[in-house]
């Protein structure tokens, strides 16, 4: 009787194994094996539905990022599908407005980046017909908060007059504005030394990926 039961159980198991893949649909050329999709190279997931584009080289992870199969895990202050861009790129554009110590004022955030957490910005102050630039450093890659570390630059005027200025401050970007406080300490024109509060609005976003 024991041998008879063993003989009976074998075909029952075979019938069960044969039907285990009936309700499983494997995608992208995957094959069902014992109820599990066996995926071809370059695909993964429960049903082989995920294309592992960075493993196959379709997507190249850059700037020290790590391939996670279908996406790149970026290091701090990098972004983009391939981690090819720095965080500050999302704020590049033309901003304009006024400050509490100047009248008409324009600003352009440029794509130049010294370090992944830094951005170069350009000032144009129409009251004094002068322009200069400075570097900002982001606190993190999520809040838009930045610091303007103390730095000294030559100041160029639309006339032949020249000077230099030391600047420092802090502020933040939102989706449509740049708000910050800037301390200006002129080397020669001391009557212009001041701390200014800027509330600027985005007038034009610049997408450097199309340039």
Place of tokens 């199969």: 69
Q: List the structure tokens of 85.
A: 């861009």
What's residue 98's pLDDT? Answer: 75
Q: List the structure tokens of 54.
A: 């960075």
- Residue 77 has, within 13 A of its CA and on its CB side, a CA count of 14
What's residue 21's pLDDT? Answer: 86
Beta strands in the chain (DSSP E): 31-33, 36-38, 43-44, 50-51, 66-67, 72-73, 78-79, 85-86, 93-99, 102-109, 118-125, 130-138, 145-157, 162-173, 177-186, 194-205
Three-class secondary structure of residue 5 per DSSP = helix
Q: Please calculate the CA angle 107-110-116 and round it to the nearest 5 degrees.
A: 130
Prediction pTM value: 0.69
- Give every residue of the chain whose pLDDT is below 70, as ranges: 1-18, 102-113, 125-130, 155-162, 190-191, 208-211
| DSSP code for 208 | G
Q: Where do the domains of the chain lie, and which CATH numbers do they carry?
A: 1-51 (2.10.25), 52-83 (no CATH), 88-205 (2.40.128)
What's residue 6's pLDDT? Answer: 46
Residue % of the chain over a pLDDT of 70? 74
The partner residues of 50 in beta bridges, in order of sequence, read 44
Report the distance separating Cα 28 and Cα 19, nearest Å. 21
What's residue 125's pLDDT? Answer: 64
Report the distance separating Cα 137 and Cα 114, nearest Å. 10
What's residue 126's pLDDT? Answer: 59
What's residue 105's pLDDT? Answer: 54
């Amino acid at each position: 009787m024991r041998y008879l039961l063993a003989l009976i159980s074998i075909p029952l198991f075979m019938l069960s194994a044969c039907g285990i893949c009936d309700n499983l649909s494997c995608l992208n050329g995957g094959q069902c094996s014992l109820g599990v999709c066996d995926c071809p190279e370059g695909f993964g997931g429960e049903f082989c539905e995920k294309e592992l584009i960075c493993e196959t080289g379709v997507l190249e992870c850059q700037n020290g990022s790590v391939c996670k199969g279908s996406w790149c895990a970026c290091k701090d202050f990098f972004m983009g599908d391939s981690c090819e861009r720095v965080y500050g790129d999302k704020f590049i554009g033309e901003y304009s407005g006024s400050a509490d110590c100047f009248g008409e004022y324009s600003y352009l955030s440029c794509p130049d980046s010294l370090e992944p957490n830094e951005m170069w910005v350009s000032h144009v102050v129409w009251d004094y017909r002068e322009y200069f630039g400075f570097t900002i450093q982001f606190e993190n890659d999520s809040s838009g908060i930045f610091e303007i570390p103390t730095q000294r630059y030559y100041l160029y005027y639309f006339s032949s007059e020249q000077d230099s200025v030391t600047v420092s401050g802090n502020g933040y970007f939102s989706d449509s504005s740049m708000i910050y406080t800037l301390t200006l300490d002129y080397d020669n024109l001391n009557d212009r030394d001041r701390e200014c509060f800027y509330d600027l609005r985005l007038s034009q976003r610049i997408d450097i990926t199309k340039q």
